[in-house]
Structure 1
Amino acid sequence: MAPGGDSAEAGQALAKQTVFLFGRAQGLTRRRLDQLVRLRGGKLSSKPSTRVTVIAVGHSATSHVLADGRVRLPVGLPASAILISEKELRRRLGLLGPPPDVDRSLASAEIERLAGLTPTLVACLALFDVLEPVEARFAYRDVVAAREVGRLLTRGIDLGQILGASVTLGRRGSHLAEARLTEGPSGELVRELGGQLAELSGQLTMRLEQDVRGIDELVAAAELAEEDNDLATAESLYTTAMRADAGDPVLPFNLGNVFDAQGRAAEAKIAWQIAVARDPAFAEAWYNLAMAAEDEAHEDLAIAEYRRAVQAQPEFADAHYNLALLLTKLDRCEEALAAWERFLELAPKSGQASTARRAAALCRMRIRQKQAQTG
């Protein structure tokens, strides 16, 4: 199956769509992804299935790209399914804004001609967000990036390695159109900066971060070990994965959960703190930190961290519930009432809804009593 599609379909609803994620999406746990897809009326498929209608290709899937730009997808996926990039998935989930509003007057054929690339290669570059077309139209920066890809391919650099370098640059806030790459002494791609060789991060050292290929398999094995309660193996695998990918917050988050399951609370908190340092909008990690603070009777810290969780993920019903419960216990009823009402908006039919309604009524009564006392 060849990659295809671009941002023309950005913003289309995922309602009634069955989504399969191939690879990993940076910073998104499977639970979070499932919640977001369901919130938008779709369904997340955990396995390849003929019912899949949208295949999202994560940036980590570069090792599955063939030299001609085709992507080796798992067996069992229908040829009719739409292929979208990781950025496109984030846009459809409401996690990322639209592409920059710049002049896009170039057609795919012009990109192919100017960069010496085939249509399949151009489609592959769009699938991995090296290029960012809108309605099949490309910007000048896309020309620059495509030419850089063409230059590297003519030098014999593997396409998967080029895509991996582009992903790394993107995570560092840069772009392939802004960097001139070359092959380092060990065969890795490095940047040329002022006549010196540097890592993709810009550090003037010779070694690039480890290749992303193989990490997916490592993480899958770690998750399986965690599910099987083989916590020692899961810990070892997640630790190795963290060394291989220094940016993904899901890895320290999962490692923290493994520590927590082993009763190693202090190490769990450190791992979750690493997760939010990597991604300050990682709601689930803030939620776990808040619960840990609450367990240690650090109520103000717990409240602040619950608020960080719901700020990052406004529809995070469990975080609203725990925040409301803690505020009620502390007799901060006006704040608690707002949190209870928000929880009931999000989960009116949940098992906790009756408790929330009673607590909200209690808060209203206490507020009225305080108002009466103060005249």
Structure 2
Amino acid sequence: MTTAALPSPDCLPATASDWLAQRQIVLVGRLAGMSPRSFRRLLAERDATLVEPVDDSATLVVVSDEKWPRDGSPAANVLDETSRRRVRQGAAELIAESTLWERLGLVEATPDVRHLYTAAMLASLLGVSLASVRAWQRRGLLAPVCTVRKLAYFDFVQVTAARRLAALVAAGVSPSAIVRSTLLFAKRFPDVACPLGELPLVVSGRQLLLREGEGLVDPAGQYRIDFEAIDSTGDELARHDGERPQRSCVPSVLSPAAFHADAPAATPAELLAAAAELEEQGDLGAAIEACRSALMAGSPTAETCFTLAELLYRHGDRAAACERYYIAVELDEDFVEARANLGCVLAESGQLELAAAALAGALECHADYADAHYHLARTLDQLARHNDALAHWRRFAELAPESPWVEEARTRLTAPR
């Protein structure tokens, strides 16, 4: 439900250049927000150096969003010994990829640049559930270009990928089959960061095909000309001579019985993976139990509480969802999506003053969060605070001119008062 702007490296302000100058940078993992070539160019133009291989000269260690721990464990755990020692001695600063983009000003709204979308706006554009978009992101089928306060933003390439995902899912193709098909295309085109969004792919029947000239090629590299034959291929998305299908990394914890005391202890990460699998299968009750088990198996984290809150909301338990959103915010006061979702659930429950406070809190953390402006404007209108609402309708329309809800904002802005 939100958009923001991401400048190119050439658009960075002088202060960003000064901050980066003379830095010796170690990169851990693959960046979600920029290609390796663009990142090297950015560093060269800002008088910074990428340290390859890692040595004792590093002064800044950047961990990609992909590698940054999501279970609350120390980020230093993903570092090599040299980088870990440099950070421990205070010789190098350790930051997440999303922090790097914030410091460089890459999430500031500027004119004439591409728009970004949150998972919620992506779901609204495609007419799919927010849970589906989150599941695609979990499986690596969608990758945010940047993250602000745990809020993922996607670009037009990811929108294209998501449209194809929605078409495949509507055709009845399983997520695991889509993953296998995408992996095969990724192997054929290793320089393409997002095959689903960047390659000239078409969805035909229940198959994902690559357009080459006047023909179509399947993930295994075989040409397909007869469209009737294509439609009859069914679920064979990942057929590949001499290659076994990849096994799912999701543990086999697929029912509440799996959490019996006599069963081998599962880690919080395994239980959360099981909860995600159960959610995709539509078994929300079992997913909630798996998520609660993850909380009991380890220290509570804001992310796990947020996940549980969303499951509880979808299961129809607003009061319990509210409580979990409150806990997520208590554990991480900058968790803007938790604050915004809390405000939405409070508004649905008729607690409008509390809802307005929660949404205003989200905007204090991330002033350009269009979702929060939209929901706060609606809440203020419900409270008959129409003049206050106008400012947020106006800001929402500026931030999200392509949102499916922008017509509502324009109607409110032009309505007689």
Is the TM-score greater than 0.5?
A: no
TM-score per shorter chain, which class?
0.3 to 0.5
Identify the structure with bigger relative contact order (alpha carbons < 8 Å, sequence gap 6+): 2
Instruction: Compute the TM-score of the two structures, normalised by the length of structure 2.
Output: 0.41
Instruction: Compute the TM-score of the two structures, normalised by the length of structure 1.
Output: 0.45
